[in-house]
Amino acid sequence: MTSHSPRRACLLCATALAAFALTACQDKRIRELDVGISRDSAIKIMADGVQPKLDTIQNVYRHNRYFVQGREFDIYMFDAENRKFWEDPEVLDKELTPVVVVDGKVEGWGWSHMDDVSSKYGIRLRAGTEPTPTAPAPAPAALDSAKKAQRA
């Protein structure tokens, strides 16, 4: 007969509960995505139930495209609230879900997958608590030139 320790049973319960909570927190549209579906199908799924705005992809906060090692990467930052970068630049990356499309097909989604893509291909998207930067920081040389001009 096999005996299970109460500690092990609690650990298994906690793990199952955490997995359920993570799944429950995801938007239903993200849960409907499948690896291998086309970019257009993914965009249609993400936009489900949202009234279209002109010239935007529904429920995508921002979109970045990269060409790395002969492959085309589209990173769609899904936002269940349908906010847009130019309307609300203070949205935190942790409020968004990256959807990774490679060569026109969904490869995966979520920050864990994006971290794997980042380390493998050098594509950098910051997941964190800082607001998304609205403009690139000036280069150090440009700062030095500006300081010298002020002194003169």
CB within 8 Å of 91: residues ≥ 6 apart: 61, 79, 83, 85, 131, 132
Quick one: pLDDT at residue 148?
Answer: 52
Quick one: pLDDT at residue 121?
Answer: 94
Angle at alpha carbon of residue 37, lines to 80 and 18, rounded to 5°: 50
Amino acid at 112: S
Quick one: pLDDT at residue 23?
Answer: 39
Task: Output the DSSP codes for 42-62.
Answer: HHHHHHTT----TTS-TTEEE
Quick one: pLDDT at residue 63?
Answer: 93
Quick one: pLDDT at residue 77?
Answer: 96
What does the domain layout of the chain look like in residue ranges?
25-125
Q: Output DSSP code: residue 51.
A: -
- Tokens representing 99? 């959807």
Across the 152 residues of the chain, what is the mean pLDDT of every consecutive 10-residue run? Answer: 59 47 65 96 86 74 94 96 90 94 98 94 68 44 50 53
Quick one: pLDDT at residue 114?
Answer: 95
Strand 71-78: give its sheet, edge to edge: 60-68, 71-78, 97-102, 105-109
Quick one: pLDDT at residue 48?
Answer: 82
- Answer CATH for 25-125 from 1.10.10, 2.60.40, 1.25.40, 3.30.1450: 3.30.1450
Quick one: pLDDT at residue 136?
Answer: 45
